[in-house]
Amino acid sequence: MKKILFIFSLFLIGFSAQAQDVKQEKKKKNAKVAFEVNGICGMCKKRIETAALKTKGVKFAIWDVKSHQMNIILDERKTSLETIKQNIANVGHDVKDFIATDEAYNSVHPCCKYRDSKIIEDHKGELKKEKN
């Protein structure tokens, strides 16, 4: 009876170890992700890309000023998309599901106030998509 219990225990341990390996395989080493980030100018671009690149696990980050498209390559084993979005919001830029706090938004340069329609107009509207 002890032998059967011992063999069964080894079987369960082996099965659970195998299940953990399968879970880790789902996280990609070079996951490509794209999402929208609000901003208006070249200074915004630098701030947004720097915030993303300072996140451990982010290998590549580029933000397009005109389309507001953020393209990232990240190691999902080291970070999550939510962490990256939160870091971008922490420097004052809105991301879907992660709105920058008023304190963070107010810390950006006056020409980077993408929530202000007058600033958007000053940039001739070509660098900022209007919110619906």
- Which domain CATH number covers 115? 3.30.70.100
Which pLDDT score is estimated for 29? 87
Residue 2 within any structural domain of the chain: no
What is the per-residue pLDDT across 66-78, written as a single tens digit (0 to 9) for each?
A: 999 999 999 999 9
Pairwise CA distance, residues 41 & 30, whole Å: 28
What is the per-residue pLDDT across 6-33, written as a single tens digit (0 to 9) for each?
A: 676 656 676 665 555 545 558 888 899 9
Domain span at residue 55 reads 31-122
Residue 1 within any structural domain of the chain: no
For residue 116, pLDDT over 90 is answered with no
Residue 91 within any structural domain of the chain: yes
What is the per-residue pLDDT across 88-113, written as a single tens digit (0 to 9) for each?
A: 999 999 998 899 999 999 999 998 99
Cα 64 to Cα 5, 6, 11, 29, 112, distances in angstroms: 61, 60, 52, 24, 15
Residue 77 within any structural domain of the chain: yes
Count of structural domains within the chain = 1
Residue 15 within any structural domain of the chain: no
Residue 104 within any structural domain of the chain: yes
Residue 40 within any structural domain of the chain: yes
Residue 131 within any structural domain of the chain: no
Which pLDDT score is estimated for 39? 93
Pairwise CA distance, residues 72 & 63, whole Å: 9
Residue predicted with more confidence, 85 or 23: 85
Confidence of residue 45 (pLDDT cuts 50, 70, 90): very high
